[in-house]
Structures are given as C-alpha cells and as structure tokens.
C-alpha cells in the first residue's frame, strides 16, 4: 500500500511566511508559559499567606483549570486545526473523571 505523503517543496515566499508564523507562534507559547508560571506563583503565595481555605481552595482550583486549558490548547496544539477528535476523547475523559471524583468525594465523606 502506498501512502500519499503531503510533501512538496514550498516556494521561498511560502517558506519565509511559514517561518514567520512559526516564530510568532513560539513567542505566544513563551507568553503562555509566563502566564502559567505567574498562576503557579500566585497559587503557592495564596496558600502560604494563610488566608481562609474557603477563599483560597476555589481560587487555586480555578488557576489549575486555567493552567491545564493553556497547556492543552497551546502546548498540546488544540488551538490549531484538526484537533476535534483529540478534544472529543479528552472532554469525554474529563466528564468521566469529574463524575468519578464527585461520586468518591460524596459517598466517602465523613
């Protein structure tokens, strides 16, 4: 079986444009990384500061959710085209994960 490989030599302009886009993309990735570091720092600082757990716990869980979303959409490329199936599998898994954790936490909670 011979498989089609979508490989053709790009024109010089196409290539330069692609490189420019890639550089821009990489700069965005570094920005995303800076945001993640910032969120991590705030989360640790909030816990260390000794504020009320009822305030800090939802805050750090929100930060974790944001960080994971950034990781998935940027570092793992979901924001690019063609990641519909990846999102379908992971959102299904997240739904099962959420249900399971909810069940465990509410059944065994004494």
Q: Does 22 bind other proteins (CB under 8 A)?
A: yes
C-alpha dihedral sign at 36, 24, 73, 66: positive
Q: Which residue in the set 48, 49, 73, 79 belongs to the binding site for other proteins (CB under 8 A)?
A: 48
**Paired tokens of 39:** 């969120």
Contact indicator for 63, 35 with CB cutoff of 8 Å: no
> How many angstroms separate the first and last alpha carbons of the chain?
61
Binding site for other proteins (CB under 8 A): 2-10, 12, 15, 18-19, 22, 25-26, 29-30, 33, 36-37, 40, 43-44, 47-48, 53, 56-57, 60-61, 63-64, 67-68, 71-72, 75-76, 82, 85-86, 89-90, 92-94, 96-98, 100-101, 103-105, 107-109
């Amino acid at each position: 079986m011979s498989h089609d490989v979508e490989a053709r030599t790009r024109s010089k302009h196409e290539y330069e444009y692609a490189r420019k886009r890639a550089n821009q993309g990489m700069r965005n990735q570094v920005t995303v990384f800076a945001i993640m570091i910032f969120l991590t720092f705030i989360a640790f600082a909030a816990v260390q500061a000794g504020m009320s757990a009822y305030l800090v716990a939802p805050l750090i869980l929100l930060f974790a959710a944001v960080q994971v979303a950034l990781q998935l959409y940027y570092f793992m490329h979901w924001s690019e085209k063609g990641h519909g199936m990846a999102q379908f599998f992971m959102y299904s898994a997240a739904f099962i994960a959420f249900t399971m954790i909810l069940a465990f936490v509410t059944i065994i909670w004494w």
